Chains A and B, each alone.
Chain A
Amino acid sequence: MKITVVKKAVETKKPANYCPWFIEDPPAPKK
């Protein structure tokens, strides 16, 4: 029985804000 956690659960999920028609966020600027 093998289990590899590629991505852990997030405690505070953030909305992706994707919009099929109009507005999309540009990726956040790199620090």
Chain B
Amino acid sequence: MQPSMFNVQVPLPDRNEVFMMNTFTDAQLLVSPDVPALVDRVCHGGSYTDEERDTLQALSENGFLVNSRAEERQALSNFFRSVREDREQLRVTVLTTLQCNFACDYCIQGDHDDHNLFGNKMSMAQAEQVASWIEGRLDELAPPVFVLTFFGGEPLLNLPVVYFLAERCHALAAARGITLRISIITNGLLLTKEVVDRLVPLGLTGVKITLDGDKETHDRMRPLRGRQGTFDRIVENVRKIADQVPITIGGNFDETTVDSYPALLDFLREQAWADQVVRVNFKPIIRTAPAPRAPKGVIPLALVGAGDKPLGGACMTSAGAGGGGCDSCHQLDDKLEFLRDETRKHGFPTSDGVHMGPCEIHRRHAWSVSPDGSLFACPGFAAEPTQAIGHVDGRHEARRAASAERFDALAAYRVCGDCAFVPVCAGGCSVASYSELGDMNTPTCHKTSFESALISLARTVASNQAATTH
């Protein structure tokens, strides 16, 4: 036996205990300090007391001790294969349009002048093809659950396509006994009661809107194209629909806005609909230079300066294995943990920062559909034609087949060695790797973020445990 390479631990000196977690099995323990010492001793062999043998048995049952490193690597490989081939869900994200009615300076999805005149928008004829393609996937896969997400641009700028696809998918799923879960990622401005009334009976189970701080900050960060503020109208829209559909609130912060988030959380907590918020997740923006203008009709994957050098603009990751990267990334990682703590203190569910990936780019049966019907492995690539892996009309093109092969072999985590966070990270965001490094198979590493989140998780687990035993 030997210790698992996926063991992580956090000393809790005030309790004279240690929190131990295995990121592969997800087992979590609170132990006395002599237990990690026992785990270390396993490497050297020797004899054990009866109590130690019992403890080793419990550690082994929960994956903290394994037979061999080779066996563990094989189990990890099997896990990623099972994720890739998982048939429990068909996941389709439809970008109904690349147009948007907001003019967020930090947005990676286009410029802020006449972009709407050129941003692609799905036609009804294209939506018909998308529906037929989805029908084929449902018949081929026969999944228990079909997750349909509307995204953009601003997806509600193309309501006819949203309604059409929701109705068709509802009928297709119902006819096959498949559970349909529809969600919308929207800026919230057009999220009216009428929209929700129409979509809930069709399977709408979640809406995610974005608030970038308190009213003043949000209105500065997420204005209309005429620079008018949007906070009040979004909040009023949410108030009217909050009893009909679970609400997720997202927010994008940078060094200049992060301090306004506690005021936003205060505001949200005061709302009558606060308990309808099922999750709050804030995410960092990194900006080091003004965003260049994007070609019309496409989503730039990275902010690129002179000489085609990435500026680290929209990216929120540091590049390369082993935690190297820009200082501001790690400063914002710290801020992220601060905001998670604040979110929890305000009584809102949020990500624990440890249970993260693998994301859906690692699933074979997860697709993003761009407005022209091209298929992508992830919406982050959805305006990069060279990254299309197919088309809903079934056309066969060598470049799409080659791209599909690239995504099929995607495994940036193989470069990560024996990092303990591989099972919950999978090598990080492939879009960031591609946009920063031009190689989606190079990891983007946020080990420091995982480590600080693990400390918070350990404290939360210990606190909850103390509450249940007293």
Contact = CB atoms under 8 A, between A and B. Distances in A.
Interface of A: 1-10, 12-13, 15-29
A24 B25 contact: no
Interface string B288-311: 000000000000000000000000
Label chain A's interface by main secondary structure. Answer: loop
Contacts of B317: 20
Contacts, number: 129
B378 A13 contact: no
A27 B278 contact: yes
Interface of B: 17, 22, 24-32, 34-35, 38, 51-52, 55, 58-59, 61-63, 79, 82-83, 93, 147, 149, 151, 181, 183, 185, 205-208, 246, 248, 250, 278-279, 281, 283, 316-317, 349, 351, 355-360, 362-363, 378-380, 423-424, 429, 431-432, 461, 465
B206 A23 contact: no
B63 A13 contact: no
B465 A8 contact: no
Output the residue of A13, A16, A25, A26 with the most chain B CB within 10 A.
A26
A9 B423 CA distance: 14
Given A9-B61, A26-B278, A20 B429 contact: yes
Contacts of B93: 22-23
Nearest to A12: B82
A9 B278 contact: no
A17 to B, nearest CB: 6
B357 A15 contact: yes
Contacts of B424: 16
B362 A20 contact: no
Contacts of A19: 359-360, 429
B356 A6 contact: no
A22 B151 contact: yes
A26 B32 contact: no
A5 B17 CA distance: 13
